[in-house]
Chains A and B, each alone.
Chain A
C-alpha cells in the first residue's frame, strides 16, 4: 500500500499528470451535470452521435493540416447538435434515427477522408486514438488546461443559473412552453453546451466512449436517489470519483485512460443498482 502511495506521489510530481487529473475531473463534472437531462429526455445517444461528428471534423482538420483543430471541431459539433435537437420533435426522421444517421455517417466520412488524404504513416493508430481516447490527455499543454478550466466554469455556471428552467423543460416541455417558458431556447442552450462538453471530453476518453461518461453517472444516481436535485448532485460526485479513480488506476497499471474510466463507471453502476434493488425490497 505504501508502495502504491509512493509511486503515486512520484507521478503527481509531474505536471502532465496533474493536468490530466484536473481536466479529467472537470470534464467528468460537466458531462454528468447534463447527463441527467439527456438520459431523461431520451437523448442518451446524442453524446455518441456528436462525438462521431467531432471525429469527422477532426479528420477534416487533419486534411487541411490545421495544427489547432479545436475551433473547427467545436463549430461543426455545435452546429450538428443544434440540428439534431431541432429535428428532435417534429420531423419525418425521429430523434433516435436522426442521431444514428449522423453518428454513423460522420464516422464513415471521417474514416474515408483520413484514408484518402492521410499524411500519417500510422493511420489505424491515429484512428484508434481518436476513437478510444489516447495518451493525449497526458500531453496536454498549459493553454489547453486553462481553456478546459474556463469552459468548465462557464458550463457549471450555466447549469446552476438555468437549473430550474432545465428541470421544467426536461420534465414537461409542453407545459413549460404553454406557461411561457421559452423551451426551444433552452433546448438550444442544452444542445450547445453538450456539444462543447463532448469536444472537451474527446481528449479524455475518445469519441466512442463519451456516451459512457454522460450516461453512466446519471443512471447510477437514478438507481438510488429520488429527487432531481439529489440525482444531479450524486451523479456529479459519482462521475468525478470514477474519473479520478480511473485515471489513477490507468497511471498505475498502465491501462488506456478512457476505457479504465468507463470500466470504473460500470462497476459503480452495478454497485448502485444492487443497493437500489435491496433498498426497493426493504421499503
Chain B
C-alpha cells in the first residue's frame, strides 16, 4: 500500500531550485534511507514532505489513509532545545498536540499514549528528569518517543545518530529497526552513514548529481552507489 507519493517534484528555497523531477513512492512498512552529499537537498526534501515548505513544482501526497500531519518527525536538535527547561514527560506528551486539535488540554488517552511510548523506549526512570541534563542518546530517545506519540504509521528521521558515540549509535539503529519490524512503522531516514543505510534500509533514495531510487539491492548495482559509497565507507572507516 502506497503511503507517500512524489510526482515530478522540484525542491528549493527562495525560488532557487536545487532538485528537480524527483519521483518516488513509499509503501507501508518500507525503510527508506535518503542519502546524498552535503547540500544536495536532503533536509529540504524532508521539510517538503512534512509540509513545512511548499515544493517549487510537482506534487507530494500522502495516501493510503495517511494524513500529512500523521507523520512523526525526529528533527535534528536545535540550539533552543539544548538549554530548555522541560521534563521528559512534558516533551513526550507534547507529541500528542497534533491529536488535540483545538482541545486545549491533554486527555487521559493522550497521557496513556505518552506513558506507553516512554516505557517502550525505556525512559520510565528518566520521566521526571530535565531534558537538558540528559546525555545525547537519551535526548534522542525522548524526541523519538515524542515522534511516536504523533504517529502510528510513518516516522521521518533527520540524521538520528549525529553526535552520538558508536555504542549509542548502534542502539539507536536497532531501536529504529525494531519500530520498523515489530510496530510496522514506515521509516524514512536521512543519513550520512551509508554503511548503516545499506544494512538496515529496504529502499534507498540517492539525491545529488545523480538521482537514484529503488531497492537496496538495485542500488548496490547502480552507478550512484559506486561514487558515493566508496567515499562514504572510507569516512565510516576513519570514524
- Verify if A142 is at the interface (C-beta below 8 Å from B): no
CA distance A226 to B130 in the complex (A): 5
In-complex Cβ contact of A179 among B73, B85, B128 (8 A): B73
Contact yes or no, A227 B90, CB < 8 A? yes
CA distance A228 to B159 in the complex (A): 27
A196 to chain B, nearest CB (A): 20
- Verify if A253 is at the interface (C-beta below 8 Å from B): no
- Verify if A11 is at the interface (C-beta below 8 Å from B): no
Contact yes or no, B50 A228, CB < 8 A? no
Contact yes or no, A227 B97, CB < 8 A? no
Q: What 0/1 pattern do residues 18 to 52 of B give for CB contact below 8 A with A?
A: 00000000000000000000000000000100111
- Verify if A94 is at the interface (C-beta below 8 Å from B): no
| A-chain residues with CB within 8 Å of residue B101 when the two chains form the complex | 180
In-complex Cβ contact of B97 among A168, A174, A229 (8 A): A168
- Verify if B75 is at the interface (C-beta below 8 Å from A): yes
Contact yes or no, A231 B85, CB < 8 A? yes
Residues from 1 to 52 in A contacting B, C-beta threshold 8 Å: 40-42
B63 to chain A, nearest CB (A): 17
- Verify if A164 is at the interface (C-beta below 8 Å from B): yes
Closest to A225 in B: B85
Closest to B50 in A: A178
| B-chain residues with CB within 8 Å of residue A227 when the two chains form the complex | 85-87, 89-90, 128, 130
Contact yes or no, B52 A178, CB < 8 A? yes
- Verify if A175 is at the interface (C-beta below 8 Å from B): yes
Query: Which of A161, A171, A178 gathers the greatest number of chain B CB atoms within 10 Å?
Result: A178
Known: A178-B50, A178-B71, A179-B150. A40 touches B84 (CB 8 A): yes
- Verify if A176 is at the interface (C-beta below 8 Å from B): yes
A165 to chain B, nearest CB (A): 7
Interface of chain A, main secondary structure: helix
B1 to chain A, nearest CB (A): 22
| A-chain residues with CB within 8 Å of residue B94 when the two chains form the complex | 164, 167-168, 171-172, 176
In-complex Cβ contact of A172 among B72, B75, B105 (8 A): B75
Q: What 0/1 pattern do residues 99 to 120 of A give for CB contact below 8 A with B?
A: 0000000000000000000000
- Verify if A74 is at the interface (C-beta below 8 Å from B): no
| A-chain residues with CB within 8 Å of residue B80 when the two chains form the complex | 40-42, 170-171
| B-chain residues with CB within 8 Å of residue A215 when the two chains form the complex | none
- Verify if A212 is at the interface (C-beta below 8 Å from B): no
Given pairs A162-B104, A164-B94, A180-B70, 5 additional interface contacts (CB within 8 A): A171-B94, A172-B81, A174-B52, A175-B95, A181-B97
Q: Could you jot down 18 A-B contacts, CB within 8 Å?
A: A167-B86, A167-B90, A171-B80, A171-B86, A174-B47, A175-B73, A175-B75, A175-B146, A177-B52, A178-B52, A178-B73, A179-B70, A179-B71, A179-B72, A226-B85, A227-B87, A227-B130, A231-B85
| Interface of A toward B, CB cutoff 8 Å | 40-42, 161-165, 167-168, 170-172, 174-181, 222, 225-229, 231
| Interface of B toward A, CB cutoff 8 Å | 47, 50-52, 67-73, 75, 78, 80-81, 84-87, 89-91, 94-95, 97-98, 100-101, 104-106, 128-130, 133, 146-147, 150-151
